[in-house]
Amino acid sequence: MIRDRLSGAAGRGSVVGGWGPKELQAIRTRAKKTQPAYGAMREDPYATIDSVAVYRIEEDAHLIEQHVSVDGSTRMVNSLVIRSQRPTIIDTCYPPLAETFLSDLRSLFDPSSVAYVGITHADPDHTGALVPLLELAPSAKVLTNAMGRAKLMGDFGLPAERFQLVNPGDTVDLGDRTLATTWVPLFDQPETMGFFDERTRVLYSSDCFGAIISEPVAFADEVETNEYREGFLYWNQSNHHWVHLVDPAKFSVEVNAIRRMEPRVIVSSHGPAIRDEIERALGWLEILPSTEPFSFPPVAES
């Protein structure tokens, strides 16, 4: 299912600055060794890894979406593509779908023109196409903080010169707009940051604001309200199970920081984009510290 797919020039493979074919192959080999769990993603309990879809979510902003079907529900993984003067990608994809991801990226523009790859955190479902993308875009810099850089250098053997360090509150000049980095209220890795396109007012919130739904869709308002609320609360409780330990008043300060940004669209890496009723989603997030702690379903007796 492709919506608003745009035609674009196909990218030509290029060598990452300072790396030859042998070095790149070594990096790919190391990457595979650091991501063993993903070799099993085509087996049970994962029923399928479906192909990538491209959605336009705002002017010059597209979502590259892929998902796995698990026990009758959909687990989405999103990448944000900003078609700015200095083209920028925020997060990538599941490792098994790296080539499909790059193919759909070519439907938007030539990957060799990518200037920045923002990585919200170093989990494999956010970095699965990072190495081949950097190979195609020899001038691209990876946007992350010091902890993220340490993880990515360790996981993939990336050289320090491929990084541009940013901290929450910093901005990056994309030529025709500014990209701001920000804290997000919920996270499952300490290096996690969000990215905010100040021109389109699209906030990419990493895992925060995600939802587990029955079928993949581009926008949250395409999901029945009760289903979306249940999937939203389940994801944000289960993926961030520490939230019940947080002081509600202090957590509300973090949620209010998102309110003050006045985003037009919130894109989670693991759910449909929120374009309507953003305040509703903020309210659901705000109550999480006061909800019952997350617990796993009971294990069936064999």
pLDDT for position 28: 40
**CA proximity to 144, closest of 135, 132, 158:** 158
Both structure tokens of 3: 């919506």
* Domain 21-290, CATH number (from 3.60.15.10, 3.40.50.2300, 3.40.50.1100, 3.40.605.10): 3.60.15.10
DSSP 274: B
Only one residue has tokens 């947080």, namely: 246
Residue 70 neighbours by CB under 8 Å, 6+ apart: 45, 46, 47
Distance of CA 212 to the CA centre of its chain: 15
Q: Which residue in the block uniquely carries the two structure tokens 């961030």?
A: 240
What distance in Å separates the CA atoms of residue 280 and residue 292, rounded to the nearest whole number? 20
Identify the three-state secondary structure at position 77: strand
Residue 22 buriedness (CB in 10 A; 0-12 / 13-18 / 19+): exposed
Residue 229 to residue 251: CA distance in whole angstroms = 20
The C-alpha angle with vertex 286 and arms to 283 and 289, in degrees rounded to 5, equals 145
Q: What is the pLDDT of residue 148?
A: 97
pLDDT value at position 4? 39
Domain spans in the chain, listed from the N-terminal domain onward: 21-290
Per-residue pLDDT of the chain (302 residues; tens, 9 = 90+): 334 323 233 332 333 333 333 333 433 433 333 333 323 333 332 334 455 688 999 889 999 998 877 777 778 899 999 999 999 999 999 888 899 999 999 999 999 999 999 999 999 999 999 999 999 999 999 999 999 999 999 999 999 999 999 999 999 999 999 999 999 999 999 999 999 999 999 999 999 999 999 888 899 999 999 999 999 999 999 989 899 999 999 999 999 999 999 999 999 999 999 998 999 999 999 999 999 888 888 888 76
